[in-house]
Amino acid sequence: MIARYTFGTPVETGAVPTKPAALSTALPFFERTADGQKYTLSLGKDEIVYGLGEQIRGINKRGWSYTSFCADNPHHEEGTHSLYGAHNFIVFDREKPFGVFFDYPGEMTFDIGCSDPNACIITAKTPDMDVYILDGETPYAIVKSFRRLIGQSYIPPLFGFGFQQSRWGYKCKEDVEKVLEAYTAYDLPLDNVCLDIDYMDNYKDFTVSTDRFPDFKDYVAEKREENIHLIPIIDAGVKIEEGYDVYDEGKENGYFCKKEDGTDFVAGVWPGRTHFPDFLDPTVRKWFGEKYYRLTEAGIDGFWNDMNEPAMFYSDEGLERAKQQIQAVFSKEIDIKGFFALGGLMNSISNSPADYAAFYHEFDGIRARHDTIHNLFGYNMTKAAAEAFERKYPDRRLLLYSRASYIGAHRYGGIWTGDNMSWWSHLLLNIKMMPSLNMCGFLYSGADLGGFGADTSGDLLLRWLQFGIFTPLMRDHSALGTLDQEPYRFGNIDAFRRTLQLRYRLMGYIYSEFMKAALEDECLFRPLAFDYPEDAFAKRVEDQLMFGESLMLAPIYEQNAKGRYVYLPEDMLFIKFISFETAQSERNVEYLEDGTPFVKQPLPAGHTYIDVALDEVPLFIRPGKLLPLLRPANNTAELDFSSTELLAYPHGAKEVAYRYYTDDGVSKDYSSPSNFKTLIYTKG
């Protein structure tokens, strides 16, 4: 059952496409203050709280205070409160479990057993919101009904599941070519190369630098011939420059967000001074969305939308305030207090609350101050692009993912989880975040593999890719000035190649499971407790995940680890693909049809320790399930989805069946019966 309660005058966020009628009865479970800004509920001793999508910390969100306010925040650390997304859905796992979605686009805080270990205290800036209460037999049943409520998740084209190589620092065609040559020379599979801001002319959206990428259209076509897709970035801010038509048109038509005095708000982002298009206004969305056609008409079929929290390094006013404060400090002799104040000053002007309260949006006949609807900005930038694609290419899927998001954005594009660091702890964070993202509808998602900021190391990158082969968005991306991070930079090529090939080998399964999850409102990544709700120990496990219907994952996320402890809620078949070298010394080695060696071992339910060398990926097949494998190829276009080799764990059954999904990878006829077929493994 889903019940909706409306308080105050909520802004239409579009998170829920078809809203159930609002109830006038009292809101259950929570105590709500008279001003409608605070909701309190007691937590049971061992109660687990799931949800919140893109957030730090664990699968169980208990023990911290989280803020929903899309943030350009490269500090994905324990003390952080907000990341780039705002996903206000949580599930309480108690005797009668229930879920709640606060459809509120302003700032909200979820103190989940932090200030009071026995209470969940949720606060908002105003009372204006729709609150949805969902009940169900289990937390997973509640998640599924939430997913039905918010509508079908975005489905990317098949090439979006192929590996993506990215780096902030590929400045020109020659840089891209060097990377591609290395991929070919080392025989590593690849589908996509992302173009970061340097492809543009002076960071101007929808332009391409003719110096660095001459004959762009021909170049895009040449790469498509090689089955490589170039995926350009688009930033939220439009550079202020007379003669730049996007700026001129936006200015002339009043498409940019305005200050109280009616002048256009100015924010400093990569291009310098920029204006923010008012994406909440459908006319602006149409205008901005259609600008993407400049690139699609040049053959581009995928984009990443960035800096759309929106991120701002400074505003004109912020700079002025800082200047005055600096002058005030310098007008006296600098003491220790002044010294530290100066240090923090410039950082404090970025993404400042004062700036978020200084500009306005006009849509649906209302005028809203930005901070009151902040979390809808990036969402509507992505919606602008998706709506434009839908108009021009109604039968074709384009690749689209964003940095900022709100629930609802999951229908229009995927998300990547922003500027993490090359830290082992961020690999673990990536693992723990995936199921929460899926609960909130973000199926096509992933982290910057290898880490964005700081220097990676070969072992970290390899272990991270070994988890990344399961995330639908699989992208190696790194920041300017950090160590080069392509998989061929660290020696050990055989291990990197086998890891990437495993992604393509598993593609039949990954694609089938993704499509079933999208079409049937399932989670691709699930906490163990979702599949084994009666298993008290499974509820405690935070570093293993269920992946699709057949697999459990137990990634290695610690440096120098040669294996790990694993909890098996039931008997499972442990599988590892091993190197030819290892195959010579292992006993009971088996070989796939293409000669790839692997070992398998049925393991009983319970706790066990598994050995996993640096070049190995552990897989666990559930009893009565099977795993279809493909012959790896250099890209998704070359994969043959019809020749599957089946690994199964019949566990006593004579036959194991699997619902296998395939399609042409680009059209949108998802439910055609011919897309589904049953694969049968017969013991013998």
Report the half-sphere exposure of 69 (CA within 13 A, side-chain side): 21
- The whole-angstrom separation of Cα 663 and Cα 320 is 56
Interface residue with ligand GLC among 191, 419, 486, 513 (CB under 6 A) is 419
Residue 312 CB, nearest distance to ligand GLC (Å)? Answer: 13
Interface residue with ligand GLC among 306, 309, 355, 663 (CB under 6 A) is 306
Q: Alpha-carbon torsion 104, 109, 112, 117, what sign? A: negative
Residue 324 CB, nearest distance to ligand GLC (Å)? Answer: 29
Encode 315-342: b = buried (16+ Cβ within 10 Å), e = exposed. Answer: bebbeebbeebeeebeeeeeeeebeebe
Number of Cβ within a 10 Å radius of residue 497: 18
Q: How far, CA to CA in Å, does 349 sit from each of 68, 136, 269, 344, 375?
A: 20, 45, 13, 9, 20
Q: Considering beta carbons, is residue 380 or 485 the nearer one to ligand GLC?
A: 485
Residue 270 CB, nearest distance to ligand GLC (Å)? Answer: 6
Q: Considering beta carbons, is residue 383 or 477 the nearer one to ligand GLC?
A: 477
Q: Considering beta carbons, is residue 83 or 121 the nearer one to ligand GLC?
A: 83
Residue 510 CB, nearest distance to ligand GLC (Å)? Answer: 24
Residue 652 CB, nearest distance to ligand GLC (Å)? Answer: 49
Q: Considering beta carbons, is residue 258 or 403 the nearer one to ligand GLC?
A: 403
Residue 445 CB, nearest distance to ligand GLC (Å)? Answer: 14
Binding to ligand GLC, residues 559-588 (CB under 6 A) = none
- x/- site string to ligand GLC, residues 470 to 499, per CB under 6 A? -------x----------------------
Report the half-sphere exposure of 360 (CA within 13 A, side-chain side): 14
- The whole-angstrom separation of Cα 503 and Cα 466 is 9
Report the half-sphere exposure of 200 (CA within 13 A, side-chain side): 21
Binding to ligand GLC, residues 346-405 (CB under 6 A) = 403
Q: Which single residue brings its beta carbon nearest to ligand GLC?
A: 168
- x/- site string to ligand GLC, residues 212 to 241, per CB under 6 A? ---------------------x--------
Work out whether 204 is an interface residue with ligand GLC (CB under 6 A): no
Residue 86 CB, nearest distance to ligand GLC (Å)? Answer: 17
Q: How far, CA to CA in Å, does 647 sit from each of 151, 547, 583, 621?
A: 34, 16, 18, 9
Number of Cβ within a 10 Å radius of residue 291: 20
Query: 282-291 and 377-392 are packed helices; what angle lies between their axes, rounded to 10 degrees?
Result: 60
What residue type is assigned to position 140 of the chain?
Answer: Y
Q: Considering beta carbons, is residue 205 or 543 the nearer one to ligand GLC?
A: 205
Interface residue with ligand GLC among 7, 154, 163, 168 (CB under 6 A) is 168
Work out whether 418 is an interface residue with ligand GLC (CB under 6 A): yes
CB 236 within 8 A of CB 377: yes
Work out whether 103 is an interface residue with ligand GLC (CB under 6 A): no
- The whole-angstrom separation of Cα 561 and Cα 568 is 20
Residue 400 CB, nearest distance to ligand GLC (Å)? Answer: 15
Report the half-sphere exposure of 161 (CA within 13 A, side-chain side): 29
Interface residue with ligand GLC among 121, 197, 439, 495 (CB under 6 A) is 197
Size of the site for ligand GLC (CB under 6 A): 9
Interface residue with ligand GLC among 196, 371, 521, 615 (CB under 6 A) is 196
Residues 6+ apart with CB under 8 A from 503: 163, 189, 468, 469, 474, 510
| Chain residues that interact with ligand GLC, rule: CB under 6 A | 168, 196-197, 233, 306, 403, 418-419, 477
